[in-house]
Amino acid sequence: MTLHRRALLSGSVAALALPNLAPAQEAPGVTANEIRIGSTNALSGPASSYSVISRCLSAMFKRVNDQGGIAGKQINFIVYDDNYAPPRTLEQTRRLVEQDKVAFLFNQLGTPTNSAIHRYVNQRKVPHLFLATGADKWAQPQEYPWTIGWQPSYRTEAQIYTKYIMEQRPQAKIGVIYQNDDFGKDYVNGVKDVLGARFDAVKLVSHEATDATIDSQIVTLQGSGVDALVCGIIPRFAAQAIRKVYDIGWKPMMFMTNVSVSGSIVMQPAGAEKGIGLITSDYRKDQSDPAWAEDPGMNEWRDFMRRYIPDGELGDNNYTYGYGAGSTMIQVLKQCGNNFSRENVMKQATSIAPLEIGTLLPGVKVSTSPTNYHPIRHMQLQKWDGKSWVRFGGVIEGANV
């Protein structure tokens, strides 16, 4: 019996000691000539139009590998399909972490899907980097130090609109119409971040995603004397709001979430002339804008597309998105030197010195620090002129919260 127990004890001591010995040379997912990176995306199902992001990232890593890899290591980028279903995301993420033993996770798609693995990856201390979602909840360095987003969050966007209002019309009465969910509430929080104590004067009106129209909400806002309106609403309601504001002859300074500014989905159905003067924001260069026809950054992207994704649809802005996120990731890997342990990858991902990327607007820089988990905090405003969006003013930075 004693022998048995002793054997068991020494066995477990050995088992405990093993992982401590190993990472000195070899971190999980890293071998002499390979770094394994995992991701999930909706390769099938209703959200599968986003799968081009994974395609773009795979091609970018192929380009890195063709150029000799990072620190002599080839990148093996594994993407699994999660159908945009949270339980599948957890299953596939566990497959990546436990079976494929990836070094870290990168650019997984979706807010509900990433929510499902948020705690798992933080318990396991697996870097969960540069997610493809605009929710603000990924920036919680205290509670969830292993998770970081990438694109400006909806909250940052609302901060930028509010800053602009304060600069242009400091005495404006601000109104917010928002969808009653996380997406919409991020806009309310953004306005609050900037206004602080003055937030009490803001008129808040919400609606449900299931509502038929939001006409009555618009009338309520007009009736309460609002002259600067921030809209955190999805495309269907955005078209309604633009039309209604115009039809009742109301002329507020109107800001629309950049989720809902597509020409064909929002502006044309609303009536292109009814939206003149509407303001939104962006952080990417629009590839259809003639201003970027000879831009070196965009030419770098076009050259990449021509060589690595020759059949890719150049008008799809998921490719410029993917190029930006991929460039950020490659920068982090270069910063790692020869130490690809999870700790060091996370450390480097949260210490990016201001970085310019070819597909982002001039002045929009990617930067992070151990306390700043919002990699992109700058955006530029743009106005609808009846035909297209026209950029104006300089880039504006979100508030420090």
Query: What is the DSSP code string of 326-341?
Result: HHHHHHHHHHTTT---
Residue closer to another protein by CB (options 31, 111) is 111
Read off φ and ψ for residue 343, nearest 5 degrees.
Answer: -60, -45
**Given the rule CB under 8 A, which of 20-28, 93-101, 159-167, 312-320 is the region that contacts another protein?**
93-101
User: Looking at 80, 104, 138, 161, which residue binds another protein (CB under 8 A)?
Assistant: 80
Look up residue 3 and give its two tokens: 């022998």
Look up residue 150 and give its two tokens: 């990438």
Residue 209 binds another protein, judged by CB under 8 A: yes
Residue closer to another protein by CB (options 78, 314) is 78
Least distance from another protein to the Cβ atom of residue 171, Å:
33
* DSSP class of 196: G
Collect all residues with Cβ–Cβ distance below 8 Å to 129 and sequence separation of at least 6.
104, 105, 106, 107, 148, 329, 332, 345, 349
Residue 215 binds another protein, judged by CB under 8 A: no
Residue 79 binds another protein, judged by CB under 8 A: yes
**Given the rule CB under 8 A, which of 97-105, 159-167, 338-346, 358-366 is the region that contacts another protein?**
97-105
Angstrom distance (rounded) from CA 323 to CA 318: 8
Residue closer to another protein by CB (options 90, 276) is 90
Please give the residues from 145 up to 184 whose contact with another protein meets the rule CB under 8 A: 180-182
Residue 95 binds another protein, judged by CB under 8 A: yes
**Given the rule CB under 8 A, which of 37-45, 193-201, 259-267, 311-319 is the region that contacts another protein?**
37-45
Least distance from another protein to the Cβ atom of residue 342, Å:
18
Residue 87 binds another protein, judged by CB under 8 A: yes
Interface residues with another protein (CB under 8 A)?
Answer: 43-45, 79-81, 83-87, 90-91, 94-95, 97-99, 111-113, 115-116, 119-120, 180-182, 208-210
